[in-house]
């Protein structure tokens, strides 16, 4: 899956175009859509999803609280969706509400999956988290450097 940050709009019928650059790295026209962590939607190619969901299911009994939390939040909202011939998806209503999608959306290619944000929510996310990001970056400082050549 490629990376990239794109801006597209939901049309009148609630369809969202997936950029060609992202689509070309997916085989077939099926994706798995689910709630992300933070107020965004996650889109997985079927293969990636099955390995993730298998990990989530493996350690699961409905009688454990932790299992129910994970299942309800990540696993349950997952649905297979199809991209139409021109590469658009329809986002299920509950997910649209969760992510607060109105019209303008930001689509993020995350190598193995895709995130969909409402544009304003995404701006809000960075307003709140820029500092945390700076800290996280600081901690990477020791590990990640350009090697002298």
Partner DNA sequence: CAATAAGTGGGGATTAGTGGGAAAAAAGGA
Partner DNA sequence: TCCTTTTTTCCCACTAATCCCCACTTATTG
Where does this chain bind its own copies (CB under 8 A)? Answer: 2-7, 21, 35, 37-38, 48, 52, 55-57, 62-63, 65-66, 68-79, 92-95, 106, 108-113, 115, 126, 129, 132-134, 136-137, 140, 143-144, 146
Q: Which residues contact 49 (CB under 8 A, 6 or more apart)?
A: 32, 78
Please say whether the beta carbons of 62 and 68 come within 8 A.
yes
Our finding on whether 124 is near DNA (CB under 7 A) is: no
Our finding on whether 139 is near DNA (CB under 7 A) is: no
Residue 39 has which token pair? 């107020």
Q: What residue 52 binds from DNA, its own copies, none (CB within 5 to 8 A, per partner kind)?
A: its own copies
Whole-number Å distance between alpha carbons of 4 and 111: 9
Q: How many residues belong to the site for DNA (CB under 7 A)?
A: 20
Tokens 């990990």: give the residue.
55
Q: What residue 44 binds from its own copies, DNA, none (CB within 5 to 8 A, per partner kind)?
A: none
Our finding on whether 108 is near DNA (CB under 7 A) is: no
Q: How far is the CB of 132 from DNA (least distance, A)?
A: 31
Tokens 């509950």: give the residue.
94
Strands 79-82 and 30-35: antiparallel
Whole-number Å distance between alpha carbons of 33 and 52: 13
Cβ closer to DNA: 11 or 135?
A: 11
Q: What residue 39 binds from its own copies, DNA, none (CB within 5 to 8 A, per partner kind)?
A: none
Tokens 């079927």: give the residue.
46
Cβ closer to DNA: 15 or 68?
A: 15
Chain-centroid distance, C-alpha 9: 16
Our finding on whether 100 is near DNA (CB under 7 A) is: no
């Amino acid at each position: 899956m490629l990376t990239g940050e794109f801006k597209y709009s939901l049309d009148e019928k609630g369809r969202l175009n997936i950029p060609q650059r992202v689509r070309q790295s997916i085989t077939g026209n099926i994706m798995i859509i689910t709630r992300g962590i933070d107020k965004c939607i996650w889109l997985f190619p079927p293969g990636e999803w099955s390995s993730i969901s298998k990990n989530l299911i493996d350690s699961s009994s409905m009688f454990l609280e932790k299992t129910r939390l994970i299942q309800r939040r990540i696993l349950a909202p997952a649905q297979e969706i199809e991209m139409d011939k021109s590469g658009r998806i329809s986002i299920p209503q509950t997910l649209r509400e969760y992510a607060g999608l109105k019209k303008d959306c930001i689509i993020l290619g995350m190598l193995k999956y895709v995130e969909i944000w409402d544009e304003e929510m995404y701006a809000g996310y960075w307003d709140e988290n820029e500092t945390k990001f700076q800290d996280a970056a600081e901690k990477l400082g020791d590990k990640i450097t350009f090697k002298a050549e």
